[in-house]
Amino acid sequence: MTGLGAITPLGKNVAEYWDALSRGVSGAAPITRFDASKFKTRFACEVKNYNPDDYFPTKEGRKMDLFTQFAVIASDEAIKDAGLLEGVNKDRVGVIWGSGIGGLKTFQDECFNFAKGDGTPRYNPFFIPKMIADSSSGNISIKNGFRGPNFVTTSACASSSDAIVAAYNYIRLGMADVAVTGGSEAAITEAGVGGFNALKAMSERNDDAESGSRPYDKDRDGFVLGEGAGALILEDYEHAKARGAKIYAEIIGGGLSSDAYHITAPDPTGEGVVLVMQNALRDAGISPADVDYINTHGTSTPLGDGAEIKAIQKVFGEEAYKLNISSTKSMTGHLLGGAGGIEAVASILAIQHGIVPPTINHFTDDPELDARLNFTFNTAQKREVNVAMSNTFGFGGHNTSVVFRKFQD
């Protein structure tokens, strides 16, 4: 990794994001994007004080859905951080991005406008280009002239982790020297909140929004919706070395699996999660004892959290008690298809700084979870992190684990 970028509910760049993560700040607050008074859930983790005019000329911004704006902003930061625009063969730079939903706000608004009209089909000419998920990777490549492999992965909440693994593999296969990768989402809309409420998936702790996301707490009642983007620049080592790029860490493995169980519910046995972590460790060529920190999927749902912890204990055995485990979703909320992007950034920064960000909002131990495990509750912990694993799992049973290691020349 030679560049990082982020726009999140905790901050609009990497430095702000990491500062808030390490201090255990909650990004949850009452929804401001629309009147949520009639919804069961009336809070979320929005990007605070966001104005597209701060980043784009007005006409340009209007041609992009919010999820694409976030993608361009985060990737711009990562590209600048990596010094990628000078002296690089742009034919060999790919953009492989992730988004689980794409332009939900655009789709919703156009349908609302049609329903309010007289039945005559009047749609914005940018309706389709703004809505489709691949507009994110398309806009990144168009802005920067990157002509390498370009596509978007869509696998629900595993989307951006799948994009990172795909980018890693395209570089390993020699199909690109560099890839801009990560993911974005912007689903805090009437349709997004209403849809997840109908699934009974989100927290309804409206009287205490800041502590609504409480992974591994006995009283967790669902996830908190988040938005934003996380971007990484993955680069072939020899290519990075030849141009004198700084290197944050290295990606050493990625695993994928499927629960093959249910369209929304996780397999309670955790077998698919066991398999994905085993696959990631095998691909990385390391043993469970080599891992120091797992940034867990940890969404704050009653079923999902327990299944993941059981899987970790099965894969890591006694080594599980030496790990730090934490869910940064306790602070950022759940970015759906963008989760893997910002959580990869968090995992890399944990390696860089030797600090494990906490799982905040822990009040009551869950008797179903092994209290001997180190969940990094409420306060960040200092420790040397040589290897970090980032887990993301999506509706449909999509499981992805990515493994990062401290760089040693």
pLDDT at res. 146: 98
398 is an active site residue? no
Q: For residue 169, give the H/E element and its range.
A: helix 159-172
pLDDT at res. 265: 87
Catalytic residue among 239, 262, 297, 353: 297
Per-residue pLDDT reduced to its tens digit, 34-76: 999 999 999 999 999 999 999 999 999 999 999 999 999 999 9
Over the chain, what is the mean pLDDT?
Answer: 97
DSSP symbol at 189:
S
CB hemisphere CA count around 31 (13 angstroms): 27
Q: Domain residue spans in the chain?
A: 3-242, 252-406
The fold of 3-242 is Peroxisomal Thiolase; Chain A, domain 1 (3.40.47)
CATH of domain 252-406: 3.40.47.10
297 is an active site residue? yes
Per-residue pLDDT reduced to its tens digit, 257-272: 999 999 888 888 889 9
Examine the pLDDT at 249 and tell me if it is beyond 90: yes
Instruction: Indicate the pLDDT class of residue 252, thresholds 50, 70 and 90.
Output: very high
The reply to whether 252-406 shares the fold of 3-242 is yes
Q: For residue 191, give the H/E element and its range.
A: helix 190-198
3-state SS, one letter per residue, for 269-316: CCHHHHHHHHHHHHHHCCCHHHCCEEECCCCCCHHHHHHHHHHHHHHH
CA-CA distances (angstroms) from residue 17 to 22, 229, 369?
9, 11, 29
Q: E-assigned strands of 142-189?
A: 150-153, 178-186
334 is an active site residue? yes
Q: For residue 141, give the H/E element and its range.
A: helix 135-144
Catalytic residue among 45, 157, 362, 398: 157
With H, G, I as helix, E, B as strand and everything else as coil, classify residue 200: coil
- Compute the radius of gyration of the chain from its Cα atoms: 20
C-alpha–C-alpha distance, residues 187 and 157, integer Å: 12
What would the mean pLDDT of 227-247 be, rounded to a whole number? Answer: 97
pLDDT at res. 409: 78
